[in-house]
Amino acid sequence: MATSRAHFVVRFDPRAWAEDVGDRYAERSGARRVAERARREFEGHGVAAGALQACDHSARDGTRLGNCVKAYLPVSERPSEERPFGMVFAPVLREGELQLDFLAFGVRHQPADSRAPSVYEIAHARLHARWP
pLDDT tens profile 69-107: 999 999 888 888 889 999 999 999 998 999 999 999 999
Q: Degrees (nearest 5) of the Cα angle 32, 34, 35?
A: 65
* SS3 call for 96: coil
Class of residue 14 by CB neighbours under 10 A (exposed 0-12, middle 13-18, buried 19+): exposed
Q: Is residue 64 a contact partner of residue 58, using CB atoms and an 8 Å limit?
A: yes
* pLDDT tens across the length of the chain (132 residues): 454 568 999 999 999 999 999 989 999 999 999 999 999 999 999 999 999 999 999 998 899 999 999 999 998 888 888 899 999 999 999 989 999 999 999 999 877 777 889 999 999 999 999 998
pTM: 0.91
Assess if residue 39 is contained within a domain.
Answer: yes
Assess if residue 117 is contained within a domain.
Answer: yes
Assess if residue 28 is contained within a domain.
Answer: yes
The reported pLDDT for the residue numbered 77 is: 83
Assess if residue 2 is contained within a domain.
Answer: no
The reported pLDDT for the residue numbered 5 is: 60
Instruction: Write the CATH number for 36.
Output: 3.30.2310.20
- Domain housing 124: 7-128
Assess if residue 110 is contained within a domain.
Answer: yes
Number of folded domains that form the chain: 1
